[in-house]
Amino acid sequence: MLSEQRLERQNMLLASARMHNEYGDLDRSVQAYHDLTAMEGSEAVAEILADEIAVVEKHWDSVQKARSLALADDHESARAALEEGCSDLREHLMPWRIESHPSGARTRLPDGWERVTPFTAESAFGEPLELTFHLEGHEPRTLRVDSPSNQFLTMSRLADLWWRNDSPITALPVPVDGDYLCADRSGRVVRLSEEGTRWTVKLNTIGGIARTPTMLPKRPGTVLMLSEEGNAWFVHSGTGQTEGPFSLRSPPASGPVATATGVSAGFMSGATALWEQELEPTVTNLKAVDDDEFYDENRKAPQIERDSHGADGGLAVLRRSAREGIELASPWKSWGVRVNDDAFEVTSGDDSERSFTVSRDGDWHYLAWEAPSRGLPEGRLWVSDANGLRAFKP
């Protein structure tokens, strides 16, 4: 009778051990094998099952080592340890930790649970996991993790103003009654507000608008747009109504800049133009292209130093081509911005709690600090890159 009970118990433990092993529950499988071989009278069974038990115990041991290494942030070694005893790495979930700056970003895991950074997740080697994170005041961020590894996610501050644009923007924004006039290298001009674009016009230009638009002192509400092939337009800031073009028949070399009486610009031809109230400017030192006096004996035009962007409009500016480097400090406040490989890092002195990050897409064209004002006590940061033109209140 005891032999029959022992045999029934042995069969039950063996079936349980094999079933748990098949379903990946190695803890219970190893325990069942241990209980089986520890039974009185199971010496022969233990000898028969020795190879089978050794495989399962090696598998179990590799999983324990892998998890221990993963918890110690050594996921590369964890994978190697797991490969020693496991033929399919997708069978086992490994822990990894995810943090974000700022913390508090929310995401929903495949099991339906919502988690908030920082937290520990689990996934398998060879099983990609895609998570989308949300944080108030920041852009959503999607993270793809192909294998378990600790992740640090930088959340990008959401822009206060954003002109999404595929064309390069090198002209600086011009403030107009709480809004801004902006132009790009395709010839588009917009009035940008925190609600979006109030109006858009398209100027017929080949070179586009690379130079900062300039307000006319004697025509309130009217701005001069000067294209890179030397055509001029007047644009009304309130309505977007345009006047022009008027051709100067030469690429600009400097300006436009505001003067006491109007707006002035220099041209590669050697001419200087002054706009006061009419689209046709007063031109001085004009040299026609067929004027022999304009060329030297080798028929070469004189070398004129060229300013590619015009006036800075009162902003502190750093352009990508500048020699000054990749950092720009606000001359009015303690704010600064630094260009990194994939982001712009914005800091405020030693106060790390106020720092934030702005995503960077492709080549950047300029960074600019706007001076503080009643509505902008800390000023405003402007960023121009492949994402278009964005502005951020610190």
Which residue segment(s) compose the domain that 64 sits in?
Answer: 2-85
Query: Does the pLDDT at position 330 exceed 80?
Result: yes
Is the Cβ–Cβ distance between 56 and 28 less than 8 Å? no
User: String of b and e for 163-182 (b: at least 16 CB within 10 Å)?
Assistant: bebeebbbbbbbbbeebbbb
Name the phi and psi angles at 282, rounded to 5. Answer: -85, 120
The domain boundary residue, chosen from 311, 331, 352: 311
Q: Taking residues 203-227, report their average pLDDT.
A: 95
Q: Are residues 181 and 276 in the same domain?
A: yes
Residue (of 378, 315, 367, 312) closest to 339 by Cα position: 367
pLDDT digits (tens, 9 = 90+) for 40-56: 777 777 677 778 877 87
pTM over 0.75: yes
**18-39 tens-digit pLDDT:** 887 777 777 787 787 787 777 7
The total of structural domains in the chain comes to 4
Task: From 61, 85, 109, give the residue that closes a domain.
Answer: 85
The reply to whether 184 and 289 lie within a common domain is yes
pLDDT band at 384 (very low <50, low <70, confident <90, very high): very high
Q: What is the DSSP string of 9-28?
A: HHHHHHHHHHHHHHTT-HHH
- CATH number of the domain where residue 192 is located: 2.40.128.630
- Per residue in 69-114, pLDDT (tens digit) is 999 999 999 999 999 998 888 889 999 999 999 999 999 988 889 9
Are 241 and 323 within one domain?
Answer: no
262 and 212, same domain (yes or no): yes
